[in-house]
Structure 1
Amino acid sequence: MIIYCVSLLFFPLWMIKVSFQAETDYLYNTVGFIKEWDFTNYLKVFSELSYSNKIVYTNNGIKIVSSNIWKMALTSIGYSFGISFVSVALTTGVAYVLAKYKFFGSKFLFSLGIILMIIPIVGNAPSAMVIRSKWLIPTYDNLFLTIMTSNCTAFSGLNFLLLYGAFKSLPWDYAEAVFVDGGGHYSAFFKMYLPMILPTSAVIFLLSFLGAWNDYASFKIWLPSYSNLAYGLYEFQDNVLNLAGGGNAGTVPMVMAGFTIVVIPTILVYFLSQKLIMSKFTVGGLKG
């Protein structure tokens, strides 16, 4: 167990260590302790993590775009929170209805949610081709459209099962108590059941946020005019590590500094939501 924990911590700590190393120190001291510090690696990231006059081919023709680390950060924040909110809202609504109401086709919809867990990720390619097709959506290069239709937002089988189980474990007696007090089905959901499954929703929100924050494929395939931090780093490390067609190990500290900057927001989000995620409480209030 100790060896496993050390293996998990080694690479993040190594990344942080290298981000503070001077280029010459890293070349001859890859794993050892820092002998020559260089804090300018982080300043270089803020100036180098950008691009200008990038040619993008879209369905509407050629576009010239540019971006910098601040634009990428704003895009990452908006994209990640948007994806997470839409994903949790859609999955929570479907899970509640299927867990608490029986109607024609409910079993089929439940089975469909299970099947979605089996579909391989290669299904991304056909969906991307459909979105790109001119006869369906002329302007696929749209951030809002991608948030609403991407695979990160789409109905998640695992998230559905987690929320379905959470709602299923809560008795219908709570809803009946709401009905007695004059409330309706919406009141039962928003005022009674939704607060009870808040820790589960917080976990799903956090996992969706982490997935969206690190999502560079959507920007590479669907959003050529935009760039989040993950995609910016993807191109950044590609450029600085392959200068003039060859490797350049001296630029590794700058790349590691970029990775460290991108990781910090996800750590902050986890610590801010840690109490809610880790909270354990007993749901009660029913009198026999």
Structure 2
Amino acid sequence: MKTSGSFGRHMDRVRGRATRWRSRLRAGRAALYLVLVVLALAYVFPFLINVATSFKTESEATSDPLGLVPRTFSTAAYVKLFGASDFPLWMRNSLIVTLVVTAGRVLFDSMAGYALARIPFKGRGIVYALLVAIMSVPGVVLLIPKFLVINQLSMYDSWSGLIVPLLCDAAGVFIMKGFFESIPASVEEQARVDGAGTWRIFFSIVLPMSVPSLVTITILSFQGSWNELSHFIVASRSSGLVTLTKGVAQLSAGSLGQGNQYPLKLGAALIMTVPVAVLFFVFQRRIMDTTSGAVKE
């Protein structure tokens, strides 16, 4: 009986310690969730201010810039954007450039990535090293050389100057190369045995297996070209070729009048975010999974 009583007290102490550990674990988890909620609110709060301010009047945006509920709901900023500015033209230009650049990057990045991953040629290692080196160079460093090249090729201030230099990017090639290397070579070898050539293998077999990486490249390309600014500054000067980012930058500089114009500027910024946000939320479940498309040897 004495031994049984000691065992019972021991078990009570074990259960007590387990209970305390569970309580501490729950408290730590609750504290972690609280920190994450605070960080999420801090991240989302500026966007909520952007949305709310775009529907305020000029005076209210000045007197209460952080208010999340407009006292006087107004669409004057959007009316002015679409009726008294070149905003529709900027949107059209950005849409044209973005769609062409996105299609070009998906095609050329995948072709270059496949060549580096699968096609043996002399100097392939050097090309890949240069690719990685380009990724490490800040884009602003290349602005002046880019302008000189565009100007020398008589592409300055033209659609070709806006689009052609953006049709391929090093990061996209890097992503596609890594994905193609994850596909077993036996798949392509079997196709070659059946008489398929390189182009047939690429377009009919490898590319359909690369949907996750292609979706990733599409999202990154669309976002990058839609939000591009520095390239458009050095590639054009005509008002008819102004893109959305360049036009909104001019709005921020006060091109449509005096005053802070907070509703106007934030309304333009809000409209700019919509296409990228929609694209991301539609395809977020398809963003690259490096195991997708691969088959076991």
Structure with more of its chain in helix, by fraction: 2
TM-score by length of 1: 0.81
Q: Corresponding residue for 2:265?
A: 255
TM-superposed CA distance for 1:272, in Å, is 3.3
Larger Rg: 2
TM-superposed CA distance for 1:43, in Å, is 0.9
TM-superposed CA distance for 1:138, in Å, is 3.5
Is contact 1:49–1:233 with CA below 8 Å preserved after alignment?
no
Q: Distance in 1 between matches of 2:130 and 2:255?
A: 45
Is contact 2:55–2:263 with CA below 8 Å preserved after alignment?
yes
Aligned residue identity for 1:270:
F
Q: Distance in 1 between matches of 2:283 and 2:96?
A: 18
Distance 1:241 1:72, change over 3 A: closer
The answer to whether structure 1 residue 229 and structure 2 residue 244 are counterparts is yes
TM-superposed CA distance for 1:281, in Å, is 7.0
Q: Distance in 2 between matches of 1:117 and 1:282?
A: 26
Q: Corresponding residue for 1:188?
A: 201
Q: Corresponding residue for 2:160?
A: 144
Q: Distance in 1 between matches of 2:154 and 2:292?
A: 51
Distance 1:209 1:15, change over 3 A: same
Distance 1:105 1:240, change over 3 A: closer
Aligned residue identity for 1:227:
V
Is contact 2:155–2:161 with CA below 8 Å preserved after alignment?
no
Q: Corresponding residue for 2:4?
A: none
Aligned residue identity for 1:26:
A
Give the alignment of 1:100-139 within 5 angstroms.
Answer: 100-121=118-139, 122-132=141-151, 136-139=152-155
Number of aligned residues: 258
TM-superposed CA distance for 1:143, in Å, is 0.9
Q: Distance in 2 between matches of 1:131 and 1:3?
A: 47
Is contact 1:100–1:168 with CA below 8 Å preserved after alignment?
yes
Give the alignment of 1:90-109 within 5 angstroms.
Answer: 90-109=108-127
Q: Secondary structure at the match of 2:254?
A: helix
CA deviation map 1:130-155 (0-9, x unaligned) = 322xxx33352111243112xx4343
Q: Choose which of 134, 143, 155 in structure 1 pairs with 2:169.
A: 155
Q: Distance in 2 between matches of 1:188 and 1:74?
A: 37
Structure with more of its chain in strand, by fraction: 1
Q: Distance in 1 between matches of 2:125 and 2:190?
A: 27
- Structure 1: gaps of 5 or more residues: 51-68
Q: Distance in 1 between matches of 2:256 and 2:160?
A: 33
Is contact 1:20–1:253 with CA below 8 Å preserved after alignment?
yes
Q: Secondary structure at the match of 2:145?
A: helix
Mean Cα deviation higher: 10-19 or 276-285: 276-285
Is contact 1:241–1:252 with CA below 8 Å preserved after alignment?
no
